[in-house]
C-alpha cells in the first residue's frame, strides 16, 4: 500500500501529459475544452484500448479517435436507455393490469401471492417509503382524499416504483403468475426474470453515465435456448442490445417506435471506431447484422 500523492493538473498540463505518452494532439485548445467538459479521469478510461502498454499509446493514435470512441459509447448508452424506458413503462402496465384484474387493486400488499414472504415485507416497506417521498401530483391528491395512504392501488404504485422494484415484484411472484405474465410478454418466465434484472442493472449504468462499450457485465443474462442465442456472450453489452431489440418486438407498441430505434442502433453500430476487435469486445459477432436476433426487431 502506498499513499496517493498525485497532484491535480491544469487542463494544459493534462494535454501535455497525454502528448508525452505519444497521443497526437492536433488542436490543443479544442482538446482542452473537451477535457473540461468530461474530465481527464473519465477520458483516460477510453484511452486504454489505444495503448501499447500502460501510459504509452500506439503510434499514430489521435485525441480525436479516442473522442470518437467516447461519443460512440455515449450514444450507445442513450439508445439503450431510451429503449429501456419504453420497456419499463410497458412492463409496468402489463403487470399491474394482470395482477389487479385477477386479485384486486391492492394485490401487491398481500404477501400470499408472493413466494418469499420476508422479501415481500422488505419490498412493500420500500414501496411505501418511495410513495411517501414522491412529489407527484397524483400522490398528493390521493393522500388528501383517501385514508389508505401510503397504500396505493397497484396501477398507481407502479408509477412510483423504480425499475429495480418492478423487477423484484415479478421475481417474487408465485410461479403460476410468473408464467402467465411471461406468456403475455412472449418469453419463458426464467428469461423474463433474468432480463428485467439485467435491464435494471444496465439502466443504472446508463443513469450514472458510465462506460458501457467494452464493460464486462456483472450480471450475465439467461437467454432463450433457440434462435442463435448460444453464440452470444451474455457478459457483454451486445447481449443487452439483442435482448432489448427482441423484447421491443414483443411489446404492444407502435411499429414506428421499434423501427426508429432499430434504425438508430443499426446506424451507430455500422460506424465502428478503428480499434482491433471493436465488435468482439461488445459481444457482437462480425456478422451481427445477419443474426436473426437483430433482424427480428425489424
Here the cell at position 222 is 439467461
What are φ and ψ of residue 57, in 5° steps? Answer: -80, 150
Here the cell at position 215 is 464493460
DSSP letters along 161-172, please? Answer: --HHHHHHHHHH
Virtual CA dihedral for 271, 276, 278, 282, nearest 10 degrees? 180
How do the pLDDT tens digits run along the chain, 298 residues long? Answer: 888 888 889 999 999 999 999 999 999 999 999 999 999 999 999 999 999 998 899 999 999 999 999 999 999 999 999 999 999 999 999 999 999 999 999 999 999 999 999 999 999 999 999 999 999 999 999 999 999 999 999 999 999 999 999 999 999 999 999 999 999 999 999 999 999 999 999 999 999 999 999 999 998 899 988 767 887 889 999 999 999 999 999 998 889 999 999 999 999 999 999 998 899 999 987 788 888 888 865 5
Write down the pLDDT at residue 227.
67
CB 36 within 8 Å of CB 42: no
Write down the pLDDT at residue 177.
98
List of residues 6+ apart from 15 with CB closer than 8 A: 25, 28, 31, 32, 35
Write down the pLDDT at residue 179.
98
Q: Is the dihedral of CA 78, 79, 84, 86 positive or negative?
A: positive
List of residues 6+ apart from 196 with CB closer than 8 A: 91, 163, 166, 167, 170, 171
Virtual CA dihedral for 30, 36, 42, 44, nearest 10 degrees? 50
Amino acid at each position: 500500500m502506498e499513499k496517493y500523492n498525485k497532484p491535480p493538473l491544469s487542463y494544459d498540463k493534462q494535454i501535455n501529459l497525454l502528448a508525452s505518452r505519444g497521443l497526437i494532439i492536433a488542436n490543443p485548445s479544442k482538446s482542452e475544452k473537451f477535457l473540461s467538459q468530461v474530465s481527464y479521469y473519465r477520458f483516460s478510461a477510453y484511452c486504454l484500448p489505444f495503448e501499447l502498454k500502460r501510459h504509452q499509446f500506439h503510434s499514430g493514435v489521435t485525441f480525436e479517435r479516442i473522442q470518437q470512441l467516447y461519443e460512440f459509447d455515449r450514444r450507445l448508452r442513450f439508445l439503450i436507455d431510451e429503449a429501456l424506458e419504453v420497456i419499463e413503462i410497458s412492463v409496468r402496465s402489463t403487470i399491474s393490469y394482470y395482477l389487479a384484474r385477477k386479485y384486486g387493486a391492492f394485490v401487491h400488499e398481500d404477501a400470499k401471492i408472493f413466494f418469499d414472504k420476508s422479501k415481500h415485507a422488505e419490498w412493500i416497506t420500500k414501496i411505501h417509503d418511495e410513495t411517501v417521498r414522491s412529489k407527484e401530483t397524483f400522490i398528493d391528491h390521493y393522500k388528501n382524499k383517501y385514508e389508505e395512504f401510503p397504500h396505493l392501488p397497484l396501477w398507481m404504485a407502479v408509477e412510483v416504483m423504480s425499475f429495480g422494484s418492478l423487477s423484484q415484484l415479478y421475481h417474487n411472484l408465485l410461479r403460476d403468475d410468473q408464467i402467465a405474465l411471461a406468456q403475455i410478454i412472449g418469453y419463458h418466465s426464467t428469461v423474463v426474470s433474468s432480463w428485467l434484472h439485467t435491464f435494471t442493472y444496465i439502466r443504472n449504468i446508463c443513469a450514472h453515465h458510465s462506460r458501457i462499450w467494452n464493460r464486462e457485465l456483472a450480471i450475465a443474462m439467461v437467454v432463450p435456448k433457440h434462435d442463435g442465442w448460444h453464440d452470444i456472450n451474455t457478459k457483454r453489452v451486445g447481449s443487452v442490445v439483442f435482448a432489448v431489440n427482441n423484447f421491443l418486438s414483443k411489446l404492444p407498441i407502435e411499429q414506428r417506435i421499434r423501427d426508429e430505434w432499430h434504425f438508430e442502433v443499426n446506424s451507430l453500430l455500422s460506424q465502428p471506431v478503428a480499434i482491433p476487435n471493436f465488435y468482439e469486445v461488445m459481444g457482437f459477432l462480425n456478422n451481427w447484422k445477419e443474426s436473426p436476433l437483430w433482424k427480428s426487431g425489424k
